[in-house]
């Protein structure tokens, strides 16, 4: 009992911490996470952003005043340039259209029966002494019988439909040219927060003309759609029930 109590104390402490955290959020909507600045190359300033002194005689003395004489600088859109995402910091659109269905049914049946008998009809005359003294028949000294049966059935039926469109940012470019993308979107309605996370790797040639890509073309895709709030809490079992489900051996 003491060991069981010692094991329950940490679990109760952890559950109390979670309860205290939820008590602090009573009457408050779930908070949105801060927007993080994605990695992006530095854009060169345009000629109009240079000062008059830099564009005058001082520009020749300062080699950093005008790094190049091109009208199209880094970070600026070009008329004949491919506008699809290809560099770190570029944005592309992800179209998520998941419609999965799965039906699985299994049935198993197993039975086994066994019996064993053993004895000694003659054993140096001792079998007569055993029969007279204890009433033991040496012909049936050992006997066993076993019966085992098992019947199991299982059915799984699942249907999932998700249709979303969101933007993601190119976070890295692999040596072979593939793009590592990461997108995060949060939507809060009243006291319920919905969060959509998408990460994966895409090929530049799979990006469509409108700078979008389907979720089926994302390798190592990780798509998470969930949330937190009052509705999510109502759908969760109480921590006491969860604890009993974990510890109960029956």
**What pLDDT digit, counting tens, does each position of 20-54 carry?**
666 666 656 677 677 666 676 666 555 555 554 45
Q: How confident is the model at residue 79 (pLDDT cuts 50, 70, 90)?
A: low
Q: Is pLDDT at 241 greater than 60 in this prediction?
A: yes
Instruction: Return the pLDDT at 133.
Output: 73
Helix 2-24 and helix 239-247, axial crossing angle in degrees, nearest 10: 150
Q: Has residue 81 been placed in a domain?
A: no
**What pLDDT digit, counting tens, does each position of 103-160 carry?**
888 889 888 888 877 766 766 767 777 777 766 776 666 778 888 888 888 888 888 8
Interatomic CA distance for residues 50 and 46, integer angstroms:
7
Q: Is pLDDT at 225 greater than 80 in this prediction?
A: yes
Instruction: Return the pLDDT at 179.
Output: 94
- Give long-range contacts, CB 8 A cutoff, 24+ apart: 215-218: 215/94, 215/95, 215/96, 215/97, 215/98, 218/94, 218/181
Instruction: Return the pLDDT at 60.
Output: 47
Q: Has residue 143 been placed in a domain?
A: yes
The mean per-residue pLDDT over the stretch 4-18 comes to: 57
Q: Has residue 232 been placed in a domain?
A: no
Q: Give residue 151's domain range.
A: 106-155
Q: How confident is the model at residue 13 (pLDDT cuts 50, 70, 90)?
A: low
User: CB atoms < 10 A from the CB of 45, how many?
Assistant: 15
Q: Has residue 218 been placed in a domain?
A: no
- Radius of gyration of the chain from Cα atoms? 36
Q: Has residue 74 been placed in a domain?
A: no
Least reliable range by pLDDT among 140-144, 175-179, 191-195, 243-247:
140-144
**What pLDDT digit, counting tens, does each position of 61-74 carry?**
444 545 555 555 55
Interatomic CA distance for residues 17 and 9, integer angstroms:
12
Q: Has residue 140 been placed in a domain?
A: yes
Number of domains in the chain: 1
Q: Which uninterrupted H or E stretch holds 94?
A: strand 91-118
Q: Is pLDDT at 59 greater than 60 in this prediction?
A: no
DSSP string, 133-171: HH---GGGSEEEEEEEEEEEEEEEEEEEEEEEEEEEEEE
Instruction: Return the pLDDT at 211.
Output: 93
Round the average pLDDT of the chain to a whole number and report it. 76
Q: Has residue 56 been placed in a domain?
A: no
Is the pTM higher than 0.95?
Answer: no
Q: Has residue 164 been placed in a domain?
A: no
Instruction: Return the pLDDT at 190.
Output: 86
């Amino acid at each position: 009992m003491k060991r069981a109590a010692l094991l329950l104390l940490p679990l109760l402490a952890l559950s109390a911490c979670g309860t205290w955290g939820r008590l602090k959020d009573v009457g408050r909507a779930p908070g949105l996470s801060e927007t993080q600045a994605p990695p992006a190359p530095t854009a060169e300033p345009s000629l109009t952003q240079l000062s008059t002194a830099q564009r005058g005689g001082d520009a020749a003395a300062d080699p950093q005043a005008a790094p190049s004489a091109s009208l199209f600088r880094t970070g600026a859109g070009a008329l004949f340039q491919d506008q699809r995402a290809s560099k770190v910091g570029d944005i592309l659109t992800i179209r998520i259209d998941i419609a999965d269905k799965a039906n699985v049914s299994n049935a198993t049946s197993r039975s086994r029966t066994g019996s064993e008998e053993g004895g000694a009809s003659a054993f140096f005359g001792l079998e007569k002494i055993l029969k007279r003294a204890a009433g033991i028949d040496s012909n049936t000294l050992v006997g066993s019988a076993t019966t085992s049966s098992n019947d199991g059935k299982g059915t799984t039926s699942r249907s999932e439909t998700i249709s979303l469109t969101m933007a993601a940012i190119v976070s890295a470019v692999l040596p072979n040219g593939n793009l590592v993308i990461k997108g995060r979107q949060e939507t809060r309605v009243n006291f319920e927060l919905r969060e959509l996370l998408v990460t994966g790797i895409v090929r530049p040639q799979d990006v469509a003309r409108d700078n979008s890509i389907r979720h089926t073309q994302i390798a190592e895709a990780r798509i998470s759609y969930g949330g937190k709030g009052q509705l999510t809490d109502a759908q969760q079992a109480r921590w006491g029930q969860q604890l009993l489900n974990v510890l109960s051996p029956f």
